[in-house]
Amino acid sequence: MSDFERVFGVHAVQALLERSPKRVRRLLLPAGRLNERQQALLDLAVTAVITTQRVTGEELDKLAEGVHQGVVAEVTPSQVWSEEMLTHLLDRLDGVPLLLVLDGVTDPHNLGACLRSADAAGVQAVIVPRDRSASLSPVVRKVACGAAETVPLVAVTNLARTLKQLQQRGLWLVGTAGEAEQFIYDVDLKVPSVIVMGAEGAGMRRLTRENCDYLARLPMAGAVSSLNVSVAAGVCLFEAVRQRLPA
């Protein structure tokens, strides 16, 4: 197993260089003239005394799993948070908690997009089941545009147990389901809240659904019956943001 992982894309690499430069062991950039964004990354690496190397575009293509935008970083593997770390985070938390649970979201693009929305909405952590979720891959980091470095991703062994523990701490669980009677706009999200999203198609698992305090849905006026999970998560999270804005 390699002792490093590769992160690619301007935003994802920039987030690492700015927030966790000690994790970056080498920055790979294209040979020849750099564009403005690539030069800015090179400047950050030089300031942080990080090894840089100029390689061909073909070499970058081989190292990245997607559109790399001419930048690849080799970094020490990131740490997925545990249940214990989540407990410590909540113990130290100031303000009203807002968490996001993704039950069975296995597409890395969707996980990355959810992390990006979670960061924008001020979510303190994203919780996923350890065995039924996409992991923090280079694709996830690329789509997250830096949010994978700011929002803790917590992988739990038993999601139903974790949800019960969150309830015991005074958080209210709001599950999303197309057949729910009330809209998300009718739920009080000013209280400590956990937005629970299910996998596309299958939705939430039975135990996950049964642990929710409320079920809510989004109004769908068109021909499609549901939204992409990352889009739906963004709508729900920003409804919480809207409700919590000062009057």
Instruction: Tell me the per-residue pLDDT of 18-64, one tens digit each, with 9 for 90 and over.
Output: 888 888 999 999 998 999 999 999 999 999 999 999 999 888 988 88
CATH of the domain at 26: 3.30.1330.30
179 shares its domain with 232 = yes
Buried residues in 202-235 as b, exposed as e (16+ CB within 10 A): ebbbeebbebbebbbbbeeeeeeeebebbebbbe
9 shares its domain with 99 = no
The pLDDT tens digits of the residues spanning 63-109 come to: 887 788 899 999 887 778 888 999 999 999 989 999 999 999 999 99
Domain count, the chain: 2
91 shares its domain with 71 = no
Nearest to 232 by CA among 139, 129, 102: 102
Q: How far apart are CA 82 and CA 156, in angstroms?
A: 6
Domain limits for position 194: 83-244
- Record the tokens describing residue 244, joined without a space: 């919590």
Per the listing, tokens 């409320």 go with 214
Q: How far apart are CA 10 and CA 75, in angstroms?
A: 15
State pTM to two decimals. 0.80
**Whether the Cβ atoms of residue 154 and residue 127 lie closer than 8 Å to each other:** yes
30 shares its domain with 104 = no
114 shares its domain with 212 = yes
Q: Which of 75, 105, 122 is the last residue of a domain?
A: 75
112 shares its domain with 217 = yes
**Residue 2: which pLDDT band, with cuts at 50, 70 and 90?**
low
Q: Tell me, what DSSP letter sits at residue 5?
A: E
In the sheet that holds 51-55, the strands lie side by side as 5-8, 72-75, 24-30, 51-55
